[in-house]
Amino acid sequence: MYKVSIEDLENSGDKSLNITFDDYIEEINCVTPVQAAITLKSLGEFIEAKGHVSGVVKLECDLCLKEFDYSLDFDIDELYAKNSLLDEYGQELELKDGQFVTDLNGADEIDIYDLLYQSVILNLPNKKVCGINCNGDNFLKEENLSDPRLDVFKNIKVEPKNK
């Protein structure tokens, strides 16, 4: 449904296609549909995908565990190799900054849904915090989230060792 034929791209007048995406990504907790405008351009043995993504997803705060809305607003700049790169470069290849290329291995289409899923996941923050004033410790204390199975350890007395 969200796949673009490489043959259609090659047969277009300027060897480029403009793709719009306005839908929910099922594997991600989307508040609004993810919106993207992507331009695919054939560059000989490579295909360039450039565009912009926006939307709102629901995340869980790492400090207080409350859910919060997170706005997506980032650019996509991906490069696809039409044929296998492994044959050209042999067994080992050192990647340097800016050399990440998705190998299509001769596939005849590009999955836009998968491109957007991966891009959204990679653009989520490593540390998800609901706000600058998050009082994670207070929330955890107020909610009394202690595990009753650990109550047995409350009565343990530890004596210091004699030297």
Whole-model pTM: value is 0.72
Residue numbers of the chain with a pLDDT score lower than 50: 90-91, 140, 142-143
pLDDT of residue 131: 87
Residues 33 and 70: their CA atoms lie apart, in Å, by: 13
pLDDT of residue 87: 53
Residues facing residue 16 across a β-bridge: 41
- Residue 6, phi then psi, degrees to nearest 5: -65, -30
Contact 16, 47 (CB under 8 A): no
Q: What is the pLDDT of residues 93-105, one digit of tens each?
A: 555 555 567 788 7
Q: What is the pLDDT of residues 116-146, one digit of tens each?
A: 999 999 999 999 999 888 877 655 454 455 6
pLDDT of residue 13: 87
Strand residue runs (E) in the chain: 3-5, 16-23, 34-43, 46-60, 67-81, 102-103, 109-111
pLDDT of residue 142: 44
